[in-house]
Each structure stands twice: as C-alpha cells, then as structure tokens.
Amino acid sequence: MLSTDILIVGAGLAGLAAASSLKHRGYDTLVIDKSRKIGGRLASKRIGRAQFDYGAQFMTAREPLFLSLMDECESRGLLKQWFSSRQGDKQIHPRWCGISAMTDIAEYLASSLQLRPGYQMAAIKRASNSWSAHICSGEIIKAQAVVLTQPVPQILDLLKDSGITLPVNIARRLTGIKYEKCLAVLATLNDRSKIGPPGGVKFTNGPISWLADNYLKGISQVPAVTIHGAPHFSEDHWHSDRQESGGLLVEAAKSLIGAGISEFHVHGWRYAKPVRVDQDRYLVISLMPPLILAGDAFGGPRVEGAAMSGWRAAAALEHMLRP
C-alpha cells in the first residue's frame, strides 16, 4: 500500500500547481493520472519529424501569481511570447507558448514531484481520518487529504461509484458545469503553409475554431498544422468516424493551408473547455478528512484559471490541515 500526505488526482495544470505548492509547503504529495502523459490539455505530440500542440495553443496571464510563473518560465528558456492581442482589443495580453511544446510548463512543475502516470482511480473510501484511493490495477493509496482535478463529469462518476452522496446544493452546482467538445486534426504537410505570422488564426464562424501552423510557431521541424473543430461541428460529428470528420475539417482548411496533406490524425477532446463554470476557485466536499475539487471549471476556463484553482485549493488545504 502506498501512503502520502496528500493525493492529487489529475496531472493537468491544476493538479501540478496544487502539488508543487503543497510540496513547497512541506507536504508529501503524490500525483496520479489515468493517462501516460502529464499536462492534460497542455498536450503535444510528435508524429515522425512533425511536432504538434493539439490542445491549448497558448496561455495568457492576468493574475500576478500566474504572471510571475510565466516570467519565471520565460527566463528559464521554457516559454516565449508568441504574439499579443491585436491593437483595438479592449485588453492587450501576451500569448505565451512553450519553446519546444505546450507541455514544457507542465514538465517544469512536475520535475520535482512524485508522479504515477497510468493510475486510474476506481473509488475513494473514507477511512476514519484519512482516505483510501482504490486504483483500477488493485493498488490502494492512503492519504490524509485528496484533491480531485479531473473534468467534473468524471469526478461525479467517481464519487457515485465510491458511494459518496453530495449535498443537494453542491450536486446542483457541479451538474450545472458544462463543457464543449473539440475534434483536433494533426496534419503533416508536404510544403510550407501559406498561413501568415504569427501562425495562428481564430475563426468565429464555420466548422473551424482555430488553425495553427506548428512550423511557424517554432515547435515543428517540418510543416505541420493543428485544426480545431468548432464546438458545434465537434458536437455534431462526435460519434461519426474520426477520419471522415477529420477529412471534413481538412477540406474546410485546404484553401487557408495552401499545401498538400501528407497524413493526418484526429484526437477528440470530450471536455475541451468548460463553458459554464462554478463561481469559486475550488470546492470543499469534506472538511475532515479533507476532500477538495479544483480545475479550470472552478473560477475560469483558461490555462491560468486551472493553475489559480490548484494554488487556491492548496492554500485552503493547508489551512485545514494546519488550522
């Protein structure tokens, strides 16, 4: 049986921010994730010589704490300012991206943490003044406190499977959180695209919401583009054949890309972006033993919102453990 002070479920930015903050405060922490990769939607993938950012495309910073992390990572050569808002926008914010991939910031936060990728939790059980996390592989992890940072529908399924009944007002808040889906196409090109600098194009109409040139962005050795399907397109085609749906997005982007497609792959983000979020940065389910929910569905759907949620949850948890 593994044992830790605090178990963090989910190795996205919320979980990694919470874990690194708690470790800095002197707690033994363990981060588990059902995926073999860390970062959540800070996702990158290499196919041959092509490198793709296929989840979140950039980060903005409005909160001083997150801005300081961006500045720190930039000074360490992990991030760069890709572009800024266009003149005339109400607010002008730099858009940061990883020097080699969007996973760079996740790997930086995770570098000193205990991680168990490929650990999917089946249930969480209260054991006197602690929690026992039951892993699908049969392992059990004992922890004084638990922070859950998965997408809220997955958290609700876990709590149901664990026999944990939520108060009516909490259940109503959680079921009110809604997400958009996104079909993402990762396409390798046979020539440079005709997408202009800085290499990212946002759309408000049609089947495409975002088109990025990963070569122009500076992360791919060869021409490669990421195409994000618009929410309505992704919802309508979610249960269709992925290659057929991806082909429709490729066809819609063909004139914008201006180069031939050598090959493409399609990834589906079931919980791409929360579009209806909770008003608080975190949510306490149990005071003793502590059980807290965090993530980008709590207080803000951006990458920054996920990190802020993790940090706020960590501060609240320390207050519970050290009143």
- Do residue 197 and residue 185 come from a single domain? yes
pLDDT of residue 5: 97
pLDDT of residue 128: 85
pLDDT of residue 205: 96
Residue 86 has pLDDT above 60, yes or no: no
Residue 127 has pLDDT above 90, yes or no: no
Domain containing residue 270: CATH number: 3.90.660.10
- How many Å separate Cα 119 from the centre of its chain? 17
- Do residue 74 and residue 163 come from a single domain? yes
- Do residue 171 and residue 297 come from a single domain? yes
Could you give the number of structural domains in the chain?
A: 2
- Do residue 266 and residue 299 come from a single domain? no
- Do residue 286 and residue 219 come from a single domain? no
**Binning pLDDT at 50, 70 and 90, where does residue 263 land?**
very high
- Do residue 256 and residue 203 come from a single domain? yes
**Binning pLDDT at 50, 70 and 90, where does residue 84 land?**
confident
Residue 216, domain member (yes or no): yes
Residue 54, domain member (yes or no): no
- Do residue 144 and residue 207 come from a single domain? no
User: For residue 5, what are the CA distances in angstroms to 50, 255, 318?
Assistant: 41, 54, 11
Residue 303 has pLDDT above 70, yes or no: yes
Helix, strand, coil shares of the chain as percentages rounded to 5?
30, 35, 35
pLDDT of residue 93: 81
pLDDT of residue 218: 96
Domain encompassing residue 255: 178-275
Which tokens hold the place of 140? Answer: 């059990």
Mean pLDDT across 44-66: 96
- Do residue 267 and residue 149 come from a single domain? no
- Do residue 191 and residue 239 come from a single domain? yes
Which tokens hold the place of 105? Answer: 């910031």
Cα–Cα dist 147/163, whole Å: 17
**Binning pLDDT at 50, 70 and 90, where does residue 299 land?**
confident
